[in-house]
Amino acid sequence: MAALTIHDICCSYNGKPVLDGLSLQVESNEIMCLLGASGCGKTTLLKAVAGLLPVSRGEIAINGQPVNANGRAVVPEERNIGMIFQDYALFPHLNVAQNVAFGLQSKESNKALIHKRVEEVLDLVNLAGLGDRYPHQLSGGQQQRVAIARALICKPQLMLLDEPFSNIDTQVRMRLIGEIRALLKEQGISAIFVTHSKEEAFAFSDKLALFREGHIEQVGRPQTLYQQPQTPFVADFLGQSNYVPARVHDHHTLVTPMGPIVSELAIEAAPGSEGQLLLRPRQIQLSEAEQGNGRVLEQQFLGAHTRCLVECQGLVLEVSVNEPLPAVSQVQVSITPHALTFFPDHAERQREVA
Ligand SMILES: Nc1ncnc2c1ncn2[C@@H]1O[C@H](COP(=O)(O)OP(=O)(O)OP(=O)(O)O)[C@@H](O)[C@H]1O
């Protein structure tokens, strides 16, 4: 059964629709990321799921249970969800153990049991022994772990995380993302996670829903969205894109200024269609060659890789290579064999008109 089903919902602020006919499904034990620019409606969707914002049309079901059927909205505390916010939202006057126990106290009166659960969840988030500290005595990463422990203590079926890592410094962030992801998986908790950072989205999620002005442009595995984006918007949002003018020759070959390029999978557009071939910087290879078809214009050494700007047949391409090339090199530019992504020119125009 799906952990969350959102069907055709509408949400507005002061009569102005922010989400209009949006649908999304999160499978059991799946982490779904809502990714998008500021103001595109990610937090609005999270609030609608949490029951903090009314839904004017459509249905939401959590683990198969409708939460807004027949005009009656289930209150947030009865939705069995855990919420984690960017600013941790801890009570400053309560210590760690008291903060964590807070949600359970309204449901459980046995103090020994509450104490045992607090110890268990603090252990889960690697904060064992810090129950007596106050929030101001903890680092940002530790405070966010307290917030997670507080959400976990009520054994939620679904966790909603709103930009939980944006206040954590970059050194700690990737480690915390890995730990929390492992924890959710281990506990079998499904989650929706809001961010505008693609790096966080890639590292944390099983699936990614890319938002664009209140609708979802594409949903799928992060790797699929990166490698096979359905629109230039998705391609550009998720990484550096090179666009090469191309014409479909047959279902496996594009004709480009760099010569014919063969796709590992069939190209869906009809032969004769004009459009743009998308090439990621890692899908282009350079090898030093005196008579090569390209010339390195600029290089930036970035540690793990080097970014090169290369001129080839009148095009300027961004290429990512492992090692810097000798200055002012002449190179042979070739394309790594892969399933090509081709955007027919008319498709984007049709989308703009729609
Ligand atoms: N309480 C509110 N009253 C009126 N308009 C609101 C309110 N909250 C959000 N909005 C508007 O709704 C739209 C979507 O906001 P939302 O907070 O969902 O975006 P977001 O994608 O989460 O952005 P961010 O990444 O900046 O948090 C924005 O245009 C915002 O200005």
Q: Where are the alpha helices (DSSP H) in 205-282?
A: 222-227, 232-238
Q: What is the pLDDT of residue 347?
A: 63
Domain span including residue 317:
240-353
Q: Which residues contact 322 (CB under 8 A, 6 or more apart)?
A: 305, 306
Average pLDDT (51-67) is 92
Q: Helices 111-124 and 140-152, interaxial angle, to 10°?
A: 130
Number of domains in the chain: 2
- Do 131 and 227 share a domain, yes or no? yes
Going by DSSP bridges, is the β-strand pair 330-335/294-301 parallel, antiparallel, or unpaired? antiparallel
- Do 341 and 201 share a domain, yes or no? no
Tokens 């002449």 correspond to 330
Q: Is residue 70 within 6 Å of ligand 1 at its C-beta?
A: no
Which of 198, 232, 266 terminates a domain? The answer is 232
Mean pLDDT of the chain: 90
d(CA 209, CA 332): 38
pLDDT in tens, 166-217: 877 777 788 889 988 998 998 899 999 999 899 999 999 999 999 998 899 9
Which of 232, 256, 291 terminates a domain? The answer is 232
CA 239 to ligand 1 center in whole angstroms? 25
Average pLDDT (7-24) is 93
Whether the pLDDT of residue 281 is over 70: the answer is: yes
Q: Is residue 46 within 6 Å of ligand 1 at its C-beta?
A: no
Q: Is residue 38 within 6 Å of ligand 1 at its C-beta?
A: yes
d(CA 126, CA 96): 13
ipTM: 0.96
- Rounded to 5 degrees, what angle do the CA atoms 16, 22, 23 make? 160
Comparing C-alpha atoms, which of 46, 33, 39 is closest to residue 209?
33
Q: Point out which residues pair with 60 in neighbouring strands.
A: 6
- Do 165 and 246 share a domain, yes or no? no
Q: What is the pLDDT of residue 352?
A: 52
Q: What is the pLDDT of residue 348?
A: 55
Q: What is the pLDDT of residue 151?
A: 87
- Do 248 and 227 share a domain, yes or no? no
Query: How far does the chain reach from its first CA to its final CA, in angstroms?
Result: 34
Please report the atom of ligand 1 found closest to the CA of residue 34: 21
Q: Who wins on pLDDT, 308 or 77?
A: 308
d(CA 168, CA 86): 9
- Do 223 and 265 share a domain, yes or no? no
- Do 204 and 309 share a domain, yes or no? no
Q: What is the pLDDT of residue 314?
A: 92
Residue 141, CA distances (Å) to 102, 137, 164, 184, 201 in order: 20, 12, 10, 17, 18
d(CA 37, CA 33): 13
The secondary structure element, H or E, covering residue 321 is strand 315-321
Q: Point out which residues pair with 48 in neighbouring strands.
A: none
DSSP code for 74: P
Measured in degrees and rounded to the nearest 5, phi and psi for residue 128 equal -55, 135
Q: What is the pLDDT of residue 212?
A: 93
Spatial strand order in the sheet of 4-13: 16-26, 4-13, 57-62, 65-66
pLDDT in tens, 219-245: 999 999 999 999 999 999 999 999 999
- Do 226 and 250 share a domain, yes or no? no
- Do 173 and 214 share a domain, yes or no? yes
- Residue located nearest, by CA, to atom 26 of ligand 1: 38
Q: Is residue 36 within 6 Å of ligand 1 at its C-beta?
A: yes
- Do 293 and 181 share a domain, yes or no? no
CATH number, residue 317:
2.40.50.140
Q: Where are the alpha helices (DSSP H) in 106-240?
A: 111-124, 140-152, 170-187, 198-204, 222-227, 232-238
Maximal C-alpha separation, the chain: 80
Q: Is residue 15 within 6 Å of ligand 1 at its C-beta?
A: no
pLDDT band at residue 250 under the 50/70/90 scheme: very high
d(CA 166, CA 46): 17
Q: Is residue 44 within 6 Å of ligand 1 at its C-beta?
A: yes
Please report the atom of ligand 1 found closest to the CA of residue 36: 21
The separation between CA 60 and the C-alpha centre of its own chain, rounded to angstroms, equals: 21
- Residue located nearest, by CA, to atom 9 of ligand 1: 44
- Do 245 and 161 share a domain, yes or no? no
Q: Is residue 135 within 6 Å of ligand 1 at its C-beta?
A: no
Which of 193, 212, 232 terminates a domain? The answer is 232
pLDDT in tens, 75-134: 988 898 988 887 778 889 999 999 999 878 877 778 888 889 899 889 888 888 899 999
Please report the atom of ligand 1 found closest to the CA of residue 196: 25
Residue 322 CB coordination number (10 Å):
7
- Do 263 and 332 share a domain, yes or no? yes
- Do 341 and 307 share a domain, yes or no? yes
Residue 312, CA distances (Å) to 108, 147, 258, 262, 292 in order: 69, 52, 7, 18, 9
Length of the chain: 354
> Which pTM does this prediction carry?
0.88
